[in-house]
């Protein structure tokens, strides 16, 4: 068994992620117009230091709360 053909496939599946862009963010002047709430990376947590993990968790929560309040205030 030659397993070299599996290496690129496994590397790609380990490092992939999805970045979701939103038109409404772009139109409101936010650049890049990335929605961090639904964008994901498989590398993120494993590649981050402890302090970055701690800080990013709080930022992610604050962004989610802001978006929720912004959506609610539209009513």
- Catalytic pick from 31, 42, 60, 67? 42
Look up residue 56 and give its DSSP letter: H
> How far is it, in rounded angstroms, from Cα 68 to Cα 12?
34
> How far is it, in rounded angstroms, from Cα 71 to Cα 56?
22
**pLDDT tier at 70, thresholds 50, 70, 90:** confident
**Phi, psi torsion values for 41, nearest 5 degrees:** -145, 135
The structural domains of the chain, with segments of one domain joined by +, span 6-72
Burial 30-52 (b: 16+ CB within 10 A, else e): eeeeeeeeeeeeeeeeeeeeeee
Structure confidence by residue, pLDDT tens digits, 8-57: 666 666 667 788 999 998 999 989 998 888 887 776 677 788 898 888 87
Q: Say whether 31 is catalytic.
A: no
């Amino acid at each position: 068994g030659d397993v070299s053909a599996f290496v690129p496939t496994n590397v790609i599946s380990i490092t992939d992620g999805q970045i979701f862009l939103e038109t409404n963010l772009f139109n409101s002047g936010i650049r890049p117009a990335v929605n961090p709430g639904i964008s994901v990376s498989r590398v993120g947590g494993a590649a981050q230091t402890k302090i970055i993990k701690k800080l990013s968790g709080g930022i992610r929560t604050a962004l989610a709360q802001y978006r929720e309040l912004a959506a609610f205030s539209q009513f």
